[in-house]
A and B are shown apart, each in its own frame.
Chain A
Amino acid sequence: MRRPWARAAAVQAACVAITLFMAVPMYLIALAALSSRESLNRFPLPLLPTDLSTETMSAFLRSTGVVPAFLNSLQVGLGTLVLSLLVGVPAGWALARYAFRGKEPYQLFLLLTRALPIVVLSVPLAKVFLTSGLYDTTYAVTLLHTALALPTTVLITAAVFVGVPRDQEEAAMIFGATPVQAFLRVVVPQALPGVAAAAMFAFVLSWNEVLGATILTLNQRTLPAQVLSTLSDSPLAYRFAGGLALVLPALLFIALMRRYLLNMWGATLR
């Protein structure tokens, strides 16, 4: 027979364990990236930030290709975010609000694009981009990432729009709103957290994607592609620095979007 406090304690312990599982590697990477090269070779490794230095980080950032790759990644990530929302949100709206022929197959087809491995997709894509002159540009990578992010964007936003009852829009129109006003004042504010989640997902997906980006570019590498192709030959300290550079922007982005995800109105909807 478990007591309530035991249960609560177990839940707390699980939360702490999961948090540690996520946070400890990040902490270690950050620690290593911000330590001098000598202290990394010391034994035993100090686990507290006693000997901070920016030497490793700045060396990493100064190395060839890192800053342009970082900018490329940012550009591709934001491009993917905008494009996938631009295409995905109206699609989600249509799925949520209208009954149309082929709705079910369409939803299934959306998921099918994710059924193919990126390797299989990338080679024909590289061929297409080579002939169309898009090869080795950030646009090519953006297009690939948008295609990868779209199914999730569409399905998430559709679910979000289903969550805003049609009644509320109708009520707004009864009380003097045009259809556009009803959408902007009633649907958009309620859909925003979900759309933010979809945006976040698209950005993080793009930021993390390595394989396609590696195949589709040579010089215009995104950060993960650059790090992957160069750092395997680099000293240990560089790898830590690269790791931190990869983690940090994604964390920052999530922290920024987080407030849209939390229930905005003092309590959960409904």
Chain B
Amino acid sequence: MAEVVVRNLVKTYAASAHRATDDVSLEVADGEFVVLVGPSGCGKTTLLRMVAGLETPDSGTVHIGGRDVTGLPARQRRVSMVFQSYAIFPHMRVRQNIGFGLAMRKVDRQELERRVQRAAELLQLEDYLDRFPAQLSGGQRQRVAVARAIVVDADVLLMDEPLSNLDALLRLQFRTELKKLVRQLGTTTLYVTHDQAEAMSLGDRVAVMRDGRIAQIGTPLAVYDRPDEQFVGGFLGAPPMNFFPAQVRLRGADPQLVVGEDTWPAPAHLKAYADRSVLVGVRAENIQVTADPPAAGPGAQPGWSAAVVEVVEPTGAAVLLTVRLDTHQLKVQAPPGFPARPDDTVWLRSAPEMLRFFDPETSLALVTT
């Protein structure tokens, strides 16, 4: 058990001009599960490898459990790791694979047997202990890699896209199992993935990375609901957050949003941005949609905008609509069985508190509430 403190890590690979990680700082509390997520090439794996001791940073420090491990080789850091490729040893039986870390640390034979057995039970590998990896399925090899990592009782568990080589169904199943397992163990865990759904479902906190920096870190829901920048909103969620430009205009004392020819009510804190254009971000599930035209005329419910349906995708639990509002394409989540067909007109609105606002120039969130 230990916390991980990463300070100002900079790493540039010899062949490339830009920094793989650019002054990254991160703290993982004792027993916490932090997920690093981001598109490929964002530096998440490099960061993990520097914590593991497989890469040397150009500058910055890594502390594990209060110990400065920046200059220590991997074997002295008391970390364990699950690799994307599993990296289990094909010339050893499952038993030796799982026990490898214990054997290297000269744990006595009986103790080793006992712990290998327990790890095998946790991952349902008891029946395969005497097989070679080549005789196992992909999912079973993955289990061996995880068993090998947890059996050593390391201070920190590092996982580099451990589920990405499994097929979709198995991935979902093992994700749940992994979450349960790590919770039981209570080990500090740093987990790398490019899959935003995996990040959301596993992490106590999620760190979204981009271009070698951590764009935002927080609990999954905080990051999902209140992205600090347009990139984070667009990366998390399936479908990603919708973005469209709008003008802020004051009507009396209340700010309003002008979207095309319609006006939407805006939260009061947007007053400061009167007469400026902003980028509105809204999640598909936070848009209300109706097929019946709302009562028109003065005094009728305001804020409904007409949009033209382009694509209808039933997903079972909902219907995903792609609609055109003014000149902008939006994804809208409608209830299952929603009667819409391409070229139909539907009406949309969204509660002001569900809208997020970004600076169109910098893409950063304007107001975080």
**CB–CB A177/B54 < 8 A:** no
Residues of B within 8 A of A174 (CB): 52-54, 74-75, 79-81
A190 and B92 alpha carbons, distance in the complex (Å): 10
The bracket for how many chain A residues form the interface is: 20 to 34
Residues of B within 8 A of A181 (CB): 104
B73 within 8 A of A: yes
Which of A173, A186, A269 is within 8 Å of B134, CB to CB? A269
A268 and B88 alpha carbons, distance in the complex (Å): 15
Which of A172, A173, A264, A270 is within 8 Å of B73, CB to CB? A173
**CB–CB A266/B87 < 8 A:** no
Residues of B within 8 A of A267 (CB): 132, 134-135
Q: Report the stretch among A162-170, A209-217, A240-248 that lies at the interface.
A: A162-170
8 A Cβ contacts from B90-138 to A = 90-91, 100-101, 104-105, 132, 134-135
Given A265-B90, A266-B132, A177 and B83 touching (CB < 8 A)? no
**CB–CB A186/B83 < 8 A:** no
A267 and B79 alpha carbons, distance in the complex (Å): 32
The bracket for how many chain B residues form the interface is: 20 to 34
A264 and B90 alpha carbons, distance in the complex (Å): 10
Which of B89, B104, B135 is within 8 Å of A176, CB to CB? B104
What 1/0 mask marks residues of chain A from 255 to 270 whose CB sits below 8 Å from any chain B CB? 0000000001111111
A171 within 8 A of B: yes
**CB–CB B105/A176 < 8 A:** yes
8 A Cβ contacts from B35-84 to A = 52-54, 73-75, 79-81, 83
What 1/0 mask marks residues of chain A from 142 to 183 whose CB sits below 8 Å from any chain B CB? 000000000000000000000001011011111111100100
A126 and B37 alpha carbons, distance in the complex (Å): 66
A189 within 8 A of B: yes
B85 within 8 A of A: yes
B129 to chain A, nearest CB (A): 14
Given A170-B54, A174-B79, A178-B75, A270 and B100 touching (CB < 8 A)? no
Residues of A within 8 A of B101 (CB): 175-176
**CB–CB B105/A269 < 8 A:** no
Which of A178, A186, A264, A268 is within 8 Å of B89, CB to CB? A186
**CB–CB A266/B135 < 8 A:** yes
A117 to chain B, nearest CB (A): 41
Name the residue of chain B whose CB is nearest to the CB of A188: B91
A162 to chain B, nearest CB (A): 14
**CB–CB A266/B74 < 8 A:** no
Residues of B within 8 A of A264 (CB): 91
B148 within 8 A of A: yes
Residues of B within 8 A of A172 (CB): 89, 100, 104
A264 and B92 alpha carbons, distance in the complex (Å): 11
A266 to chain B, nearest CB (A): 5
**CB–CB A170/B135 < 8 A:** no
B81 to chain A, nearest CB (A): 5
A245 to chain B, nearest CB (A): 38
Which of A170, A265, A270 is within 8 Å of B83, CB to CB? A170
Which of B83, B91, B135 is within 8 Å of A171, CB to CB? B83
Residues of A within 8 A of B91 (CB): 186, 189-190, 264-265
**CB–CB B54/A270 < 8 A:** no
**CB–CB A269/B85 < 8 A:** no
**CB–CB B105/A171 < 8 A:** no
Residues of A within 8 A of B321 (CB): none
A177 and B74 alpha carbons, distance in the complex (Å): 9
Residues of A within 8 A of B100 (CB): 172, 175
A54 to chain B, nearest CB (A): 45
Residues of B within 8 A of A173 (CB): 53-54, 73-75
A267 to chain B, nearest CB (A): 4
**CB–CB B87/A167 < 8 A:** yes
**CB–CB B104/A168 < 8 A:** no
B170 to chain A, nearest CB (A): 19
A182 and B79 alpha carbons, distance in the complex (Å): 17
A173 and B105 alpha carbons, distance in the complex (Å): 12
**CB–CB A167/B85 < 8 A:** yes
B36 to chain A, nearest CB (A): 18
Residues of B within 8 A of A265 (CB): 90-91, 132, 134
B152 within 8 A of A: yes
| Interface residues of A, Cβ cutoff 8 Å to B | 165, 167-168, 170-178, 181, 186, 189-190, 264-270
| Interface residues of B, Cβ cutoff 8 Å to A | 52-54, 73-75, 79-81, 83, 85, 87-91, 100-101, 104-105, 132, 134-135, 148, 152
Provide 5 A-B residue pairs closer than 8 Å at the C-beta atoms, listed in order of the A residue.
A165-B85, A168-B87, A168-B88, A171-B81, A175-B75
